[in-house]
Amino acid sequence: MNEFVSEEAGKLVVRLEGEVDLDRSPAVRKLLFDCVTRQMDVVVDLSEVQYIDSSGIASLVEGLQAANGNGTKFSLVAVSGQVRRVMELARLDKVFKIFDDVDAALAPMAPVV
Amino acid sequence: MNEFVSEEAGKLVVRLEGEVDLDRSPAVRKLLFDCVTRQMDVVVDLSEVQYIDSSGIASLVEGLQAANGNGTKFSLVAVSGQVRRVMELARLDKVFKIFDDVDAALAPMAPVV
Amino acid sequence: MLLQLSFPAIPDRLRLVRPMVRASAQLCGFTVEDSLDVVLAIDEACANIIEHAYHWRGDAEIVLTIFKIEGGIQFQLRDFAPPVSSRSVQPRNLDDIMPGGLGTHFIRSIMDDTRFMRAPDGEGNILELTKRAMVPS
Amino acid sequence: MLLQLSFPAIPDRLRLVRPMVRASAQLCGFTVEDSLDVVLAIDEACANIIEHAYHWRGDAEIVLTIFKIEGGIQFQLRDFAPPVSSRSVQPRNLDDIMPGGLGTHFIRSIMDDTRFMRAPDGEGNILELTKRAMVPS
Ligand SMILES: Nc1ncnc2c1ncn2[C@@H]1O[C@H](COP(=O)(O)OP(=O)(O)O)[C@@H](O)[C@H]1O
Ligand SMILES: Nc1ncnc2c1ncn2[C@@H]1O[C@H](COP(=O)(O)OP(=O)(O)O)[C@@H](O)[C@H]1O
């Protein structure tokens, strides 16, 4: 699994790839914490994630809680297929702000859902 | 794995799908024999075959030999990826007539390579 | 029996187990979507053994046996850890938004039957997970 | 050891073995193309056991053990059939265009080492297949 972080329109875009499972989620958790700590809004692009399990979901929840804790925004992009299914099973699909693509998440008028 | 046979422009087009392995190649062998026995030229579309092994290759060789035996033509279509690799390993990529798509294989002026 | 797999209780092995579980579910007649669900359930059950039964002791072993059953699939997941009481294995309340506690919820949502047993031949636990294919009505 | 797999010598099981072999090769650092080659080699070796060692006796067992080694991957494929002489296992001359006789050619073309052994603990044969990743120069 690879991760890429870039700064776009004043937000941090984190692009995850591959399978976010028990093996890889500790690295994802740390990465998301590091990003939130920079006091910027974080957009997590999941379009290239083929598989996520409960530990991966937990990393996302921790990222969201950290963002809530320091007053920044934390949103997800391109949640589809297996990832969407797991979010629904966890009943978290309504808890996260989810955008269809990175542009929508970066738009200044992005509605706060 | 599924197989589909249709008659197009006076030839039999056999479309194979999925994995042609030790489990599935006996069915493929029988199907190809049945087609060749109808005394028509046979075009085998491999574009939806994800995997082939030596037993699958053997079925194709037997089809070709049966066609040679009864004076009909036997050609392959859309050999790419893993299938092309296996043909090359078997040094059969020059033995079969291979077309890029079904239209080319059906064209009346299809060159005899 | 479709097959039996044994592997050290190390997280990176789950990447090898998943594609085989998926292919097994498809062989047993499940759709691609249902097969992905089955993969999640088995992956979570293995993760729980690594975390909670073996406490990340990577030299320990997990044995996964897969059976094709009438209209479905059955998994037996064996560890060699001290006895687990099935009462201690509980999903959290999903209304609390917090990380963790989702694995057992996924397993129970996806599989039709979940049964904890003591291994008949000595130490260890067996988790038996069964799913039947939806019969189109 | 990455993992060990045992399964009945039945052709439809190979569909379950292949995705795991592929994931194992990728875990050991092979490219997608090389991993597909490795899948072919192991698949052919299993097919040969089903056909030639067990003569389609589907109640017989195959045990595949996968090891991550320095810079590569190693497979041990065990059967419980009568001894095989490695001299009898030979690819055909590729200049003859005929079906059959390709499996061992594929295995030798793809893998770096191919070694037949008697099982140390009693009956059966072990075929040890090793491949090292191409070091980019
Ligand atoms: N195989 C197991 N052995 C022992 N305890 C387990 C096992 N699986 C689950 N548990 C217990 O059940 C609880 C809930 O598990 P789960 O829903 O997967 O969430 P999590 O693993 O995130 O805690 C665990 O915290 C653990 O106490
Ligand atoms: N595991 C095995 N046990 C016994 N004989 C084998 C085994 N593998 C291969 N052989 C022998 O080697 C020959 C060549 O095998 P192979 O190249 O795979 O072609 P094919 O299986 O099409 O005959 C076989 O015909 C068989 O006689």
Q: What is the DSSP string of D47-108?
A: HHIIIIISTT-TTSEEEEEEEEETTEEEEEEE--SSP--GGG--PPPTTS--SS--HHHHHH
CB of D123 closer than 6 angstroms to any ligand 2 atom: no
Contact C4 D2 (CB under 8 A): no
Chain C: give the shortest CA distance to residue D13, in Å. 7
Query: Of A72-76, A106-110, C39-43, D110-114, where does mean pLDDT reach its minimum?
Result: A106-110
Residue D82 has pLDDT above 60, yes or no: yes
Can you tell me the distance from the alpha carbon of D103 to that of D93, in angstroms, rounded to the nearest whole number?
A: 12
> What are the tokens at D63?
């045990």
Contact assignment for C16 to D20 by CB distance below 8 Å: yes
CB D57 within 8 A of CB D15: no
Phi first, then psi: what are they for A46, rounded to 5°?
-105, 10
- Residue A45 or D101, more confident: A45
Residues C70-106 have pLDDT tens digits of 999 999 999 999 988 777 887 777 777 777 789 999 9
A34 confidence band (pLDDT: 50, 70, 90): very high
Greater model confidence, D38 or D101: D38
Average pLDDT for D33-56: 97
To 10 degrees, the CA torsion angle through A56, A58, A62, A67?
70
Q: Are C52 and C127 in contact (CB under 8 A)?
A: no
pLDDT of residue B113: 54
- Work out the percent of chain C whose per-residue pLDDT is above 70: 98
Looking at the CA of D48, name the nearest ligand: 2
pLDDT the model gives residue C52: 95
A22/C11 Cβ within 8 A: yes
**In the predicted model, what is the mean pLDDT of residues B65-75?**
96
| Nearest residue of A to residue C18, measured between CA atoms | A51
**Residues of chain D contacting B54 with CB distance shorter than 8 Å:** 44, 47, 100, 102-103, 106
Ligand approaching nearest to the C-alpha of C87 = 1
| CA R_g for chain A | 13
CA distances from A40 to A36, A60, A105, C39 (A): 6, 16, 14, 36
- Pick the residue with more confidence: D102 or C92? D102
- Structure confidence at residue A1 as a pLDDT band (50, 70, 90): low
Span A85-89, mean pLDDT? 96
Ligand with smallest separation from the Cα of B57: 2
Tokens of C30: 């499940």
More confident residue, A4 or D8: D8
Cβ-Cβ contacts under 8 Å, C38 against chain D: none
Q: Phi/psi at A36 (nearest 5 deg)?
A: -60, -35
In which band, very low, low, confident or very high, does the pLDDT at A66 lie, cut at 50, 70 and 90?
A: very high
Assess whether chains A and B touch, using the rule of 3 or more C-beta pairs within 8 angstroms. no
Q: What is the pLDDT of residues D16-42, one digit of tens each?
A: 999 999 999 999 999 999 999 999 999
Neighbour-count burial of C95, counting CB atoms closer than 10 A to its CB (0-12 exposed, 13-18 middle, 19+ buried) = exposed
Among C57, C53, C71, residue whose Cα is nearest residue C113: C71
Q: Work out the pLDDT band at A110, boundaries 50, 70, 90.
A: low
Chains that touch C (3 or more CB pairs under 8 A): A, D
pLDDT in tens, C56-65: 998 899 999 9
pLDDT, chain C, mean? 93
Q: Does C35 or B2 have the greater pLDDT score? A: C35
In this structure, the residue with its CA closest to atom 11 of ligand 1 is C89
Question: Could you tell me how far CA B73 lies from the centroid of its own chain?
Answer: 11
- The whole-angstrom distance between residue A71's C-alpha and the CA centroid of its chain comes to 16
Topology at the third CATH level for domain C3-132: Heat Shock Protein 90 (3.30.565)
Q: How are strands ordered across the β-sheet holding A11-20? A: A3-8, A11-20, A42-52, A74-77, A97-99
* Confidence grade of residue D93 (pLDDT, cut at 50, 70, 90): confident
Cα separation, B44 vs B8, whole angstroms: 12
Q: Quick one: average pLDDT of C122-137?
A: 87
Q: Provide CB contacts within 8 A for D127, sequence distance 6+.
A: D45, D76, D77, D78, D114, D115, D116, D117
Is pLDDT larger for residue C95 or for residue D117? D117
pLDDT, position A56: 97
User: How far does residue D89's CA lie from ligand 2's centre (Å)?
Assistant: 5
What distance in Å separates the CA atoms of residue B86 and residue D100, rounded to the nearest whole number?
14
- How high does pLDDT run on average in chain B? 93
- Is the pLDDT at D87 greater than 90? The verdict is no
In the sheet where B11-20 sits, what is the strand order? B3-8, B11-20, B42-52, B74-77, B97-99
Which CATH number fits the domain A3-103, given the four candidates 1.10.10.10, 1.10.3720.10, 3.40.50.970, 3.30.750.24? 3.30.750.24
C4, C6, C27: residue with CB nearest D12: C27
pTM listed for this prediction: 0.94
Q: Quick check: do A and C touch, 3+ CB pairs under 8 A? A: yes
Would you list the domain boundaries of chain C? Answer: 3-132
Task: Please identify, by atom number, the ligand 2 atom nearest to the C-alpha of residue D106.
Answer: 17
Q: Do D102 and B85 touch (CB under 8 A)?
A: no
Q: Which atom of ligand 2 is nearest to the CA of D81?
A: 3
Question: Distance from D9 to chain C by nearest Cα, in Å?
Answer: 10
What's the pLDDT band for D49 if we cut at 50, 70, 90? very high
Round to whole Å and give the CA distance between B45 and B93: 15
